Amino acid sequence: MMGTKYFSDASGAYLGAFVDGVQPPAGAIERDCPPKSAAALWLDGNWIEPDPRDGLRAVASLSRQAFCLALFREGILTEADAIAAARGDWPTALSDVLATLPSDAAAEARIVWATSTEVRRLHPLLAMIATHMGIDDLGLDAIFGLSVQGAGE
């Protein structure tokens, strides 16, 4: 009866299952069991499965209108700031964000906001704004409607 062995590379990336007699690539490290998904990484003696939200986050976006409405409904922006933001104006509640940036970066942030018709979940400007407003990854996921059963919740 043939046995199956499971291997990762030195960085922990899963290489696959190999039956007796089939050699894995040079430098492969045998592991006790297979991961649930091929995208898992071996870390500290365990397979770490990827968060299913990662793929969703990469493609998630909202229209600027939907994003501003969500922030208003969550009580993150006042009505006046939500209306201003929906028009493309920089919201007063976020003035402090601009003050922490060099003047050219602050101008770029205002230009990006004023000209964008959509807000992408992983845009660096959104990450900076969320941090300033105390919104964590799960909070942003909720705003973007991202929910995956069993994904660390």
Question: Mean pLDDT of residues grouped by 10 in the chain (153 residues)?
Answer: 87 94 93 93 93 88 96 94 96 91 94 96 92 91 79 46
Distance CA 65, CA 62 (A): 8
4 pairs with which residues across the strands?
19
Q: Is there a single domain that holds both residue 28 and residue 84?
A: no
16: in domain: yes
151: in domain: no
Range of the domain at 33: 4-50
Dihedral sign, CA of 127, 130, 136, 140? negative
pLDDT of residue 151: 47
Q: Is there a single domain that holds both residue 42 and residue 68?
A: no
148: in domain: no
Q: Is there a single domain that holds both residue 45 and residue 62?
A: no
Q: Is there a single domain that holds both residue 62 and residue 82?
A: yes
pLDDT of residue 149: 55
What would you measure as the largest C-alpha separation in the chain, in angstroms?
A: 72
pLDDT of residue 82: 96
Measured from the Cβ of residue 147, the count of other Cβ atoms closer than 10 Å reads 12
Q: Is there a single domain that holds both residue 71 and residue 115?
A: yes
Q: Is there a single domain that holds both residue 42 and residue 26?
A: yes
Q: How many domains does the chain have?
A: 2
pLDDT of residue 147: 76
150: in domain: no
For 91-114, what is each residue's pLDDT tens digit?
Answer: 998 999 899 999 999 999 999 999
Q: Is there a single domain that holds both residue 31 and residue 71?
A: no
Q: Is there a single domain that holds both residue 27 and residue 91?
A: no
What the block records as the tokens of 37 is 């998904």
Distance CA 48, CA 41 (A): 5
